[in-house]
Amino acid sequence: MITLDLTLPDAHYPIHIGRHLLAQVDLLKPHLPIPSVAIVTNTTIAPLYLELLEQALRSAGVACRSIVLPDGESYKTWDTLNLIFDALLAGNCERKTTLIALGGGVIGDMTGFAAACYQRGAPFIQIPTTLLAQVDSSVGGKTAINHPLGKNMIGAFYQPRAVIADMALLDTLPDRELSAGLAEVIKYGLLGDAAFLGWLESHIEQLRARDPDSLQYAVKRCCEMKADIVGQDEKESGVRALLNLGHTFGHAIEAGLGYGEWLHGEAVAAGMVLAAATSHELGWLSEADVERVVRLIERAGLPVKAPNLGPAEWLRHMGHDKKVEQGKLRFVLLKQLGQAVISSDVGPEILQRVLTGGHITA
């Protein structure tokens, strides 16, 4: 097991990465203010892993209730969030009851938001079960639900007490979901580490084949980068925005097609291609650089062409992006491969060319 530390001005927490950590209650127990937890999970993950976690906790003297939500991005809503509050209140859960998110990014984001709100703040722990959640969403304290008009628009910054990334849980993850997680992995190489990007280019097949050492290295490297960035800028007033590479386009795809139609990672993948194409239009990336991005994303089993939403729909959805300032769109773009920047220099002609060009489905 590897343990990283995420250090913030007024808090710090461990990120444990290894195999078969789920039943290791000694990793959880030090973070429980009272021996009582509510595990939040979904109908797909519960039959696979819930009993193991519950049994381990109960045998360590921890009172345990479970809240099993419907599965899917389309359920990342107020109504589902209320199911968590209903269960916590019906079970007389106290403010010191720890919420445990056992799931992917959808469960993690909703449980974290519920914890931020329940009795004005209950402790919570992330046990991410997808690659995407292990490399990105479980770390850093962004929590949210979707609104029909915009992705992750209602939420809070609220940090977990610990993150436990059990790589063995990925054994049951469908291939399509593994690829979706690889989109966020590639994002880290593109935005800030050219050497890691090169490593990904030579290990992408091992990652897709779930080679344990390659997967663990990728999770560790991404969590190191994320912990470093969040440590510098917890509330996204600067450098943290770089973690949104591909997301301005990606969130528009998710909202434009309807949540759950494309997976989040798939939308980010096609969004990163559009960000690379925009960077090329600005004279920052060469055609060969863009081709390198396309090739790696394709080899990861991800879409490289975005759906054709039509320019007006693209702009409408991108207008709800959280990076918009005084009505102006701001994009995360690539000065070079391995170096991202925030830019508000993308004029309407460039945007028009990118959104009607060769990286959009005909």
- Interface residues with ligand GLY (CB under 6 A) are 136, 140, 142, 240, 243-244
Contacting range for ligand NAD; rule: CB under 6 A; set: 19-27, 78-86, 117-125, 135-143: 135-143
The angle formed by the CA atoms of residues 62, 1 and 197, to the nearest 5 degrees, is 125
Q: Is residue 180 a contact residue for ligand NAD (CB under 6 A)?
A: yes
* Interacting positions 254-273 with ligand NAD (CB under 6 A): 264-265
Q: Would residue 120 show up in a list of annotated catalytic residues for this protein?
A: yes
Looking at the Cβ atoms of 88 and 219, the one nearer to ligand GLY is 219
Q: Which stretch binds ligand NAD (CB under 6 A): 28-36, 62-70, 171-179, 272-280?
A: 171-179
Residues 55-84, mask of contacts with ligand NAD (x by CB under 6 A): ----------------x-x--x--------
Strand (E) or helix (H) holding 66: strand 63-69
Q: Which amino acid is at 164?
A: I
Q: Which is nearer to ligand GLY, 142 or 359 (CB)?
A: 142
Decide: 253 and 172 in contact? Cβ < 8 Å. no
CB atoms within 10 A of CB 2: 14
- From the list ligand NAD, ligand GLY, none, which binds 240 (C-beta under 5 to 8 Å, kind-based)? ligand GLY
Question: How far, in Å, CA of 136 to CA of 225, rounded?
Answer: 10
Q: What are phi and psi of 12, to 5 degrees?
A: -150, 155
* Residue 179 binds ligand NAD, judged by CB under 6 A: no
> How many residues lie near ligand NAD (CB under 6 A)?
29
Q: Are 57 and 64 in contact (CB under 8 A)?
A: yes
Q: How far apart are the first and last CA of the chain?
A: 47
Cα separation, 154 vs 146, whole angstroms:
7
Which residue among the candidates 142, 187, 317, 359 is catalytic per the annotation?
142
Provide the b/e sequence for 307-324 (b: ≥16 CB within 10 Å): bebeeebbbebbebbbbe
Nearer to ligand NAD, 247 or 280 (CB): 247
Binding site for ligand NAD (CB under 6 A): 42, 44-45, 48, 71, 73, 76, 103-107, 109, 129-130, 132-133, 136-137, 140, 142, 152, 169, 172-173, 177, 180, 264-265
